[in-house]
A and B are shown apart, each in its own frame.
Chain A
């Protein structure tokens, strides 16, 4: 293990430890209720970036994976009483399977066509859930979450720590993908798929792997959601705002490295939480739209790139 990786893992461990100690310092459960959403978006942005950022395949269907995770974990918990960690694991496996199916689409379709096909995935999944009465159909279903363990002061704090662990594992996974042979291969696919194939890069295997990992992380991000809201229904589980944020956050932070989506999600999700509470949820969406347009138009590399350029200039 290199020195950087050791430092990274120590950093992640410190952040997780701080998260577990937080409930004894901050008494107001609302901070954890809002913090959960921020961490959920860190996970979503990180998961999206494994396929969208590293391999350059744009997935408009993040909400489809997220919703699949939400419904699978809600179903397993209410019917079989599976413990929460197993629900999360099952959601991740299911997300990976969906991801592989989506990955086979890339055999035939690339670019814009792929992006539109993934949008279709959300609509098809939402229509299916709408028509399954065991999942509550259009009216949704109530989920009474597990009692928080004794070390946690309340359900908000417990959900927050669960999400923190998922986010930490996801970021570590994304960083591993980025620095290993997988990341090198995916960057080659993004630069030119034909050239990569000709130089012996196993493009299909890499794309399937990226789709599976990305899908697993996105579905895992949805798994604790039923316990957070105590109620699931198709419109919020497959909400467009999830698909939008999944793209906006990495784009604003920077898609080239694991730090970009984390940075973008922390910034954008915090601002959204403050805006939803203080202004209104419509203006919140308007704000995201305008920020998105501004970044695409004036800073296509994201915040990480702006910093990188400044550093590069200072060094030279």
Chain B
């Protein structure tokens, strides 16, 4: 029953899937982890990104190139979303949790239905020269449609992390979460820093969307199945810890792949939430985060 190649393949598939999950969770890591805005619409924005990539690939464009083109419109979309969010809540003096969660919940429904109306509710997939073949390494078989997105995720996370930790405007984003008043005393406008951060978070959605649609076909409601995973990753990594989110995402990916190959694939949707519930109950500040 037990054989080393099943275990090895499950672990490697888990690592690759986890890297894709990490790219899905990156945008939420910025909006929720750093800015403390509970943007539950983020997985739906990722799906919207996937459909954007799908539309461009209809004109023979490579999905990765399509994602890079999508960065600009999605950045602008994110800025617009933040402007709407802040105009609704800032004049009331801060958002309460119920209202901001409900706002993003409503937003994700609207985006899903617009996708259904625009593209129909069938599954959509993309094609590229490297999709369909696999890399064979001894006992391992790695399909390229999983390997390429899995490399895309950590590359994007590294880029965002370097930006946040090495540049001045990245430092401002991390600072705005800690102390808004100090930032305005230092001569920066907190509202414009947050707007910029929200724009970047939404721009990551189109790259994550490209990764998602390369791994497998996507339908308009696919975001719902990701909400649990992305929140589990952001919360368990510790709010705002972006390198930590990569580690947690890979751990969840491995857990899901092991459950799928040794138990039953139908159990794996529950894995992320079970991990999240256990994690929240035992260590609410996350594994890599400071106490909140």
Interface membership of chain A positions 116-130, coded 1 if the CB is closer than 8 angstroms to chain B and 0 otherwise: 110111011011101
In the complex, the answer to whether A293 meets B106 with C-beta atoms within 8 Å is yes
B266 close to A (CB within 8 Å): yes
CB nearest neighbor in A for B273: A120
CB nearest neighbor in B for A241: B109
In the complex, the answer to whether A293 meets B99 with C-beta atoms within 8 Å is no
How far apart are B258's CB and chain A's nearest CB, in angstroms?
16
User: What is the total of A-B residue contacts with beta carbons within 8 Å?
Assistant: 110
How far apart are B279's CB and chain A's nearest CB, in angstroms?
10
B227 close to A (CB within 8 Å): yes
B200 close to A (CB within 8 Å): no
Measured between beta carbons, the chain A residues less than 8 angstroms from B109 are 244, 285-286, 288-289, 292
How far apart are B193's CB and chain A's nearest CB, in angstroms?
22
Interface membership of chain B positions 239-279, coded 1 if the CB is closer than 8 angstroms to chain A and 0 otherwise: 00000000000000000000000001011011001101100
A179 close to B (CB within 8 Å): no
In the complex, the answer to whether A244 meets B105 with C-beta atoms within 8 Å is yes
Task: List, sorted by A's number, 25 A–B pairs whose CB atoms are closer than 8 Å.
Answer: A58-B98, A58-B101, A109-B281, A109-B284, A112-B101, A113-B280, A115-B101, A117-B276, A117-B280, A119-B231, A121-B273, A124-B274, A126-B269, A131-B264, A247-B102, A247-B105, A282-B116, A282-B117, A286-B117, A289-B106, A289-B109, A292-B102, A293-B103, A293-B106, A297-B88
Q: Which residues of A contact B (CB under 8 A)?
A: 52, 56, 58, 60, 105, 108-109, 111-113, 115-117, 119-121, 123-124, 126-128, 130-131, 138, 240, 244, 247-248, 251, 282-283, 285-286, 288-290, 292-293, 296-297, 300
B188 close to A (CB within 8 Å): no
How far apart are A57's CB and chain B's nearest CB, in angstroms?
9
Dominant secondary structure of chain A at its interface with chain B = helix
Contact of B273 among A109, A124, A297 (CB under 8 A): A124
Counting chain A CB atoms within 10 Å of each CB, which of B38, B106, B273, B274 scores highest? B106
How far apart are A172's CB and chain B's nearest CB, in angstroms?
25
B174 close to A (CB within 8 Å): no
In the complex, the answer to whether A112 meets B97 with C-beta atoms within 8 Å is yes
In the complex, the answer to whether B107 meets A111 with C-beta atoms within 8 Å is no
Measured between beta carbons, the chain A residues less than 8 angstroms from B227 are 119
CB nearest neighbor in B for A297: B88
How far apart are A239's CB and chain B's nearest CB, in angstroms?
11
B235 close to A (CB within 8 Å): yes
